[in-house]
Amino acid sequence: MNVLMETQMLPLLSGQGWFANLQNDLYTAFFKIGGLKLLFNGLKVTLLVSAVAVLIGVAVGFILALMKLTETKKGHRTVLSTIAGIYIDIIRGTPSLVQLMIVYFIIFKSQASLLAGMISFGLNSGAYVAEIIRGGILSVNKGQMEAGRSLGLSYGMTMRYVIVPQAIKTILPALGNEFIVLIKETSVISFIGVADIMKAGQFMVSRTYKAFIPYITIAIIYYIIIKILSLLLNAFERRLRKNDTR
């Protein structure tokens, strides 16, 4: 009896049994049930949702920023600035998951989950992008607006050709950070049935009854994506600072 137990424990104590089990789990998760393909397809969905949401967020955020800037232009609160302020306050004060559920179940009536996710995260991102754009525009010296107007340019033309181009240097790095945050936030889109990378991991767990490999793999994938984007963003910021010193 003791001899048999020692024989069974020997591979485990030497590490061979653990390594063999890990190899078997990796093969089962990635190849036997097609987990590798599921993760790749899910990654494409995650990046697609994030990219479209950023585009929607930039468009919505730019409009909201202009609406809020009417308060600065007029010197007092306006109807447009009030509407924009209320929207931003509500969006920033409620969880993105709750907003996703409202858009999907109430507005889209539990249909078009992918589109609902894009719009929901886009509208959510727009509230944050609005403050980024507004802050970037306000960071430009007031003398630039006065110089543009003195040259005979209208307010809109001065904003378009003088203020906004200078504000972009401040806005773009912050928008890059918003894109990074948005990629991580889209992980909750699996709650409405979208086959993103998190949904792929949940499927793998349901088939193998083991959560370690799927979720650790997802965490590594997210980390690699965010790390690459962060490095690109840092390189871009260094280039902008270099151009400013010339």
Instruction: Extract the tokens encoding 125.
Output: 């991102």
The per-residue pLDDT for range 82-102, each reduced to its tens digit, is 999 999 999 999 999 999 999
User: Among 11-25, 32-46, 132-146, which is the least confidently predicted range?
Assistant: 11-25
pLDDT band at 5 (very low <50, low <70, confident <90, very high): very low
More confident residue, 198 or 12: 198
Among the listed residues 222, 217, 221, 129, the one whose alpha carbon sits nearest the alpha carbon of residue 179: 129
| Mean pLDDT of the 154-159 span | 79
pLDDT band at 1 (very low <50, low <70, confident <90, very high): very low
pLDDT at 209: 87
pLDDT above 70 as % of the chain: 91
pLDDT band at 124 (very low <50, low <70, confident <90, very high): very high
Q: What is the DSSP letter of 245?
A: T
More confident residue, 233 or 118: 118
- Cα 169 from Cα 34, distance rounded (Å): 44
pLDDT at 80: 92
Instruction: Extract the tokens encoding 83.
Output: 């509407």
For the whole model, what pTM was predicted? 0.82
Mean pLDDT of all residues belonging to the chain: 85
pLDDT at 132: 92
- pLDDT above 60 for 7: no
Among the listed residues 54, 35, 50, 53, the one whose alpha carbon sits nearest the alpha carbon of residue 199: 35
pLDDT at 226: 92
Which contacts of 33-39 are long-range, i.e. CB under 8 A and separated by 24 or more positions?
33/204, 33/207, 33/208, 35/200, 35/203, 35/204, 35/207, 35/214, 38/195, 38/200, 38/203, 38/204, 39/197, 39/200, 39/201, 39/204, 39/217, 39/218, 39/221
| Mean pLDDT of the 7-30 span | 66
Angle among Cα 39, 44, 47 to the nearest 5 degrees reads 120
The per-residue pLDDT for range 171-219, each reduced to its tens digit, is 888 888 888 889 899 989 988 989 899 999 999 998 888 888 899 999 9
More confident residue, 161 or 128: 128
pLDDT at 243: 63
